[in-house]
Amino acid sequence: MAVGATREPQTPEGVGATAPLWRAAQAFRLVTALYAIGQEIASAPYYRHPGLSWVLIGLLVLWSIVSAALLSQWRISTSRRVRTTVVIGDHLVVIALMAATRLVADYAWFHGHQTVPTTLWAANAVISAAIASGPVGGVVSGVLISAVSIVVRAQWELDLWSDATAPMLVSVGLALGLAADTARRAHRQLQRAALLTAAARERERLAREVHDGVLQVLSYIKRRGNEIGGSTAELAQRAAEQEVALRVLLSEQSAPVPDVPDSPAAEQDLRPLLTAQASPDVSVSAPADPVPVAREAARELAAAVAAALSNTVLHAGPDAKAYVLLEDTGEEVIVSVRDDGPGIPDGRLAEAAAQGRMGVSRSIVGRITALGGTADLRTDDGAEWEFRLPRHRPTRKG
């Protein structure tokens, strides 16, 4: 029986999850083989054919050693197939040895005593089935071995309260089956967590490289384009738009992955989505504590802020500074986006909407309204957006 102290490799079948159970089971198998030998020494004088009984015990010991060695090989690629074969063989050997009891003992003996393979050793087949197949396989195996014991010993009048064979075997199968299933489930969750952690680290690495490369280039193009002016101003505007969009994308990728990734109701911290949009021209202030909001709301708020910052870049001038403030009152989340530009002339938004330019109404107001919040714009001293999102979305009537 191979017992290793090294960590189990992760296999597609999740074999490593139940490796400790298999180890313990093989130790139990060898101990019960010793118990069967001791029982044979005590019972052989009462057998009709003691020599044959010793041959059967020899086969029991040989199978115990072979099966323990095979069931301990969880590192080989065919370990699952090998285990299935051994578990089936286990049941065949146990049933054959139990039936052979009638060849070595008379009715008076086998009717009131254990079979040649003691009940304790026969439990190895149930244990192996439970670890390999879970509680259902364990219980079925326990019932099967119990039924064979009843038939071989001709105990049709079996009283479950006086004979513990059936309750013991079924209970062992159920308990170890549940333990094996729990181990496999925990192993899968651990593997998933490891994959998510690795993916998150890779995203962070890529985000750092993008931040150190692409974002700096876009920022440089925006600054130089505004300085040169003329035909390069449009290039500067486009670079500014892409810089904001890329910052939003990076903030979404670096945000923690919720337990239910596809659920819009899963919450995430709003702060990383906003702080990712900080730049030399954009200052972001957020609370020290997390501000959890629904994942969908967090993305839409971040997109609205990005749209407001994009308008600042496009309309407030190259030297304008923007300030983003995040507040959490408990009842609602408030996000303010303010710039120190010249502001928006009266009637300008209505004129843009009449011309079919729906950037503000769709990208900003539409997003916040769809979330059940409000978006207010003040233009007296620069432009200031104030987004208010209630913690509990109001229920629509009608």
Q: What is the C-alpha R_g of the chain?
A: 36
67 burial via Cβ count (<10 Å: 0-12, 13-18, 19+): buried
By the 10 Å C-beta count (0-12 exposed, 13-18 middle, 19+ buried), 370 is classed as exposed
pTM over 0.75: no
- The pLDDT assigned to 12 comes to 41
pLDDT of residue 5: 35
Q: What is the pLDDT of residues 311-338, one digit of tens each?
A: 777 777 667 788 999 999 988 999 999 8
* pLDDT one-digit tens code per residue, 68-126: 888 877 565 556 788 888 899 999 999 999 988 888 888 877 777 788 888 889 999 99
Residues of the chain with pLDDT under 50: 1-13, 257-264, 356-358, 394-398
Give CA–CA dist 137/228, Å, rounded: 77
- 303 residue type, one letter: A
DSSP element (H, E) containing 345: none
- Res 215: pLDDT: 67
Element (H, E) at 336: strand 332-339
